[in-house]
Amino acid sequence: MNVYLDHNATTPIRPEAAEAVVRAMQMGGNPSAVHESGRAARRVVEEAREAVAALVGADPAGVIFTSGGTEANALALKGLRRPRILASAIEHSSILKQTYVEHVPVDTTGVVDLLALDEMLKTRGEPALVALMLANNETGVIQPVFAAAELAHNHGAVLHCDAVQAAGRLEIDIRGLRATALTLSAHKIGGPAGVGALVLADPAEPLDPQLLGGAQEMRRRAGTENLAGIAGFGAAARVVKAVLAEEAKRLDELRQKLEGYIATRMADAVIFGEDAKRLPNTICVAVPGHEARTLVMALDLAGIAISAGAACSSGRIAPSHVLGAMGAGQMAASAIRISLGWNTTEADIDMFMSAFGRTVARLGFKPASAA
Ligand code: PLP
């Protein structure tokens, strides 16, 4: 039995993307070369650029391919020429660790505090950049990006939106959000890891490149393009755009089934961000008295992959800054994240529920219905 419910960490590659990767690898070619092989590679890159742009309602000329979400976030924060950075306290570490950032608090449901943001923007006249993600990777809580962007613009600031987890799960329109720049990562939408994009709403937006060298990516990101990665990213973006509405509805139904099970069988379980709008695929839940680490390991032995909180990198589980910012206190140590994706089936959810119930009961918790 193998059930993969850790799609927010990475989602399995979609068949169309895998095929595009293989095709591009076999094809080869340097998109900067002027001969036929180079021109063919250039066509692959430009078709992918169009598909990625279409996923977020952008002009293809505003898409800058990078090595992933982390690099795109770094490019935005360092390249958009704003000396002051205000970031929500629940941003991904690739935002919070880039440079000095002032943290904008969130409420207990995990939604950014817009009044606090407004106050912070009022305090100093220095040109500012507001970094606010569209949806959080740990809780799935959706952020009021449009409202935050309006506030930012009222104070002469710009807004950068990390849409890595929202892409493929929510409809995104960069101009509708009023974001100046937006980050995407291929491996969260069914493309390969190691490729992403920074998308600019205005292709002419001044941006200082962070990698210097060749003139690739319209002089905004040097380095020979990752042809296979970009081809896979484009293919994934094309599929995601076509299936998004249907897939989101299906995952939302599965998530509701799972949340219904938790509510009836584990009366004291807490779902983080339950009262906020959330992604259709993410549940972050704590069962009091059960350490996340133990649950993750026990479920792994049962053939089920989930994660603890999310602050898991290099195999290490660190306390979650997201749940900390939400005031979760001790409960954060019990938080597990179950994230669904394009190939999750109802049978997967049934197997998870039965293994979860058995594991929690075996480790000492009495389900409400058995009391
Ligand atoms: N932003 C968010 C919200 C993420 O969840 C992640 C990855 O987990 C990243 C950025 C980083 O993306 P990448 O893995 O492509 O560097």
Amino acid 361: pLDDT: 87
The share of the chain scoring above pLDDT 90, in percent, equals 90
DSSP letter, residue 181 = E
Q: Any residues with Cβ below 6 Å from ligand 1, and which? A: 68-70, 73, 92, 94, 133, 137, 162, 164-165, 185, 196
For the residues 21-40, what does the mean pLDDT come to?
Answer: 95
1 pLDDT band, cuts 50/70/90, is low
The string of pLDDT tens digits covering residues 299-341 is: 999 999 999 974 555 556 678 999 999 999 989 999 999 999 9
Which is nearest to 242 in space by CA: 21, 50, 51?
51
Nearest residue (by CA) to ligand 1, atom 10, is 69
pLDDT of residue 99: 87
Beta strands in the chain (DSSP E): 3-4, 63-66, 84-88, 102-104, 128-131, 158-162, 181-185, 196-200, 270-271, 282-286, 304-305, 307-308, 312-313, 316-317, 335-339
Q: Ligand 1: distance of its center to the CA of 14 in Å?
A: 18
CA distance 277 to 257: 17
Q: Are 248 and 134 in contact (CB under 8 A)?
A: no
Cα-to-centroid distance, 41 and ligand 1 (Å): 27
Amino acid 363: pLDDT:
82
pLDDT digit string, tens, across residues 277-289: 999 999 999 999 8
- Residue 65: DSSP 8-state: E
Ligand 1 atom having least distance to the Cα of 73 = 10
Ordered strands of the 84-88 beta sheet: 63-66, 196-200, 181-185, 158-162, 128-131, 84-88, 102-104
Active site residue 312: yes
- What are the structure tokens assigned to 323, written together? 């749940």
Of residues 137, 138, 168, the one with CA closest to residue 14: 168
Measuring CA to CA, which residue among 288, 259, 277 is closest to residue 366? 288
pLDDT, position 368? 47
Distance of CA 60 to the CA centre of its chain: 21
Choosing from 18, 114, 271, 312, the catalytic residue is 312
Task: pLDDT band for 369, please (50, 70, 90 cuts).
Answer: very low
* Residues 34-66: tens digit of each pLDDT: 999 999 999 999 999 999 999 999 999 999 999
Which residue matches tokens 């950049």? Answer: 129
Q: Could you read off the pLDDT of 246-284 as tens digits, one per residue?
A: 999 999 999 999 999 999 988 899 999 999 999 999 999
- For residue 206, pLDDT beyond 50: yes
* pTM, two decimal places: 0.96
- pLDDT digit string (tens) for 133-172? 999 999 999 999 999 999 999 999 999 999 999 999 999 9
Ligand 1 pocket test: which of 94, 320, 322 has the largest number of ligand atoms within 8 Å of its C-beta?
94
**Secondary structure (3-state) at 156:** coil
Q: Which pLDDT score, from 0 to 100, does residue 319 have? A: 82
